[in-house]
Amino acid sequence: MSHFPDDRRSLAAIERDLSRDDPDLVARMDTLNQRLAEQQGARLAEPTPRRDRRVVLAVVLGAVALLALLLTAVLGSSSSRGGDEPGGRPAAVSTTSSRARVMPAGF
């Protein structure tokens, strides 16, 4: 069972009693309510710029991808210089033979 209508009646009775007992309080509350309404109306009238999360995410991911591309280019160009020198070997070349040794059956 909901007590919501009873609560509203009780609050309305308290409000009537306060307004009858203290008219200055009623005047202050009316002034505050008017100021609050004006401030909220002014806030709603001014559009605030909002950034779309997808746009921000796309820009951040693009910046990270660009940074990764630049780092790859810089680090890749410095490591490839070693293979161009005389006597130098490229990093991917192995010096061991790739053939497997077969052991005789009776050994």
Token representation of residue 25:
């309080």
Assess whether pLDDT exceeds 80 at residue 69.
yes
- pLDDT band of 99, cuts 50, 70, 90: low
Tokens of 93: 């070349």
Q: What pLDDT is attached to residue 63? A: 97
pTM, to two decimals: 0.33
